[in-house]
Amino acid sequence: MKEIIRGNIIDAPALGELRCLPGGCLVLEDGVIREVLETLPEGAELPVTDYGDCLILQSFADMHLHGPQYPLLGTCMDVPLLEWLNRYAFPTESRFADPDYAREVYAMLAAELVANGTTRVVMFSSLHTEGTWLLMEALERAGVTGYVGKVNMDRNGSPVLQETTEQSKRETLRWLEGCGRFSRIRPILTPRFTPSCTDELMAWLGELAGERGLYVQSHLSENTNELAWVSQLHPDCQRYWETYAKYGLWKDHTVMAHCVYSDGTERRAMRDANVLAVHCPDSNTNVCSGIAPVRRMLEEGVWVALGSDIAGGDHLPMLEVMSSAVRTSKVRYMTAGDAPLSAAEAYYLGTTAGHRYFGAGDGFAVGDRLHAVVVDDSTLGPKGEMELPLRLERAIYRAKREQITAVYSDGRKIKGR
């Protein structure tokens, strides 16, 4: 079916660049963008959904978050990362051994993602196989697309949250077997981080990733105590990234969250391998990690996108993650001199840079299935002349789920009438 969606279109074809089409049109055929037009074509006989003076933005891609930490969201931020994992994150994740609990919590999480316009994710589950399937099911049912990983952790966990190496291998294979039934959510291999996985497990996962062409997600250089720990565990490695590289886990489309302490060498290794660095500004501050050198990564050609990292991060809505990225970049500007991010840059990082992971083009690209949100910003301030870039900036700082009146994911409308 062909149709037209009309409104004030703003997309981000490149870092810091906006394309603004007041009263513009997206021509869709079966959910695929066929044309992007400045005006409604005269005499067009297609059905038109006219969003009037609302903004039509790209939907959001959350490239790093932990589904089973959703119950922790907004609480327990009183200790730094490694203590936080042991004291709060591990016990919280352990509850997802219970399928009834998992079903209930994951339905809430999926609904909140949709309400806030996040249509693509790269997400950690817990180590539980059934729980991970339930997470995938909840996301798929709600209309969220992307990758979810059953976590692997066979050391340094807790009595309530750890596998043996054999269990971890066996359950990973069993989990993968059950993933065929999902169409919009795919599996991604997920060694939690180097301290959580024995060399044997890392090597096995690297081989599996190679054999089956699976992507990999993990954490990298988030915290100084973690870095010291990784050096002790892998004295043969000069830098953290090598602990993944030596087992075949460092490759095209590997997702590495944080990269706060990645130096020039590590950043070059990211760029050369086409590894995605996910910047999680709220988590960087909440668990006192430090603020990732996003500007430097961008200048050096590293692929960077944004993540909420709930529940180290306290904001699930990506609009809020974008404003946090701008705000924390100013802290880096004040402390390290790196040029801060603009709102337009944050919008690019929260949309196009993430959507690329899934093979999408830049901005609203012809040939892509539509991922979009409609923002009614009429209640965000007095009416009056305001250019579209300023309205986008205001939406990033001020819009909540109430202002997101429609959401399109993979060509289908999943929120709004």
| Chain residues that interact with Fe ion, rule: CB under 5 A | 257, 309
For residue 143 the two structure tokens come to: 């209309």
For residue 324 the two structure tokens come to: 């946090």
Query: In angstroms, rounded to a whole number, what is the distance separating the alpha carbons of residues 355 and 362?
Result: 8
**Closest CB to ligand GUN among residues 37, 76:** 76
Task: Tokens 């807790």: give the residue.
Answer: 158
Q: Which does 85 bind (CB under 5 to 8 A by kind): ligand GUN, Fe ion, none?
A: ligand GUN
Q: Which residue minimizes CB distance to ligand GUN?
A: 312
Kindly state the smallest distance separating residue 335's Cβ from ligand GUN, in Å.
Answer: 21
E strands, 60-106, are 60-66
Contact residues for ligand GUN, defined by CB under 6 A: 66, 81, 85, 89, 192-193, 219, 222, 283, 309, 312
E strands, 15-113, are 17-29, 32-37, 48-58, 60-66
For residue 201 the two structure tokens come to: 């497990």
**Closest CB to Fe ion among residues 242, 309:** 309
Q: Which residue minimizes CB distance to Fe ion?
A: 309
Percentages of the chain per state (helix, strand, coil), in multiples of 5: 40, 25, 35
**Closest CB to Fe ion among residues 12, 121:** 121
Q: Which does 358 bind (CB under 5 to 8 A by kind): Fe ion, ligand GUN, none?
A: none
Query: In angstroms, rounded to a whole number, what is the distance separating the alpha carbons of residues 392 and 66?
Result: 28
* H/E element, 219: strand 217-220
Kindly state the smallest distance separating residue 131's Cβ from Fe ion, in Å.
Answer: 17
**Closest CB to Fe ion among residues 257, 325:** 257
Query: In angstroms, rounded to a whole number, what is the distance separating the alpha carbons of residues 365 and 120?
Result: 16
Kindly state the smallest distance separating residue 237's Cβ from ligand GUN, in Å.
Answer: 17
308 in Cβ contact with 64 (< 8 Å): yes
Kindly state the smallest distance separating residue 283's Cβ from ligand GUN, in Å.
Answer: 5
**Closest CB to ligand GUN among residues 130, 314:** 314
Kindly state the smallest distance separating residue 215's Cβ from ligand GUN, in Å.
Answer: 18
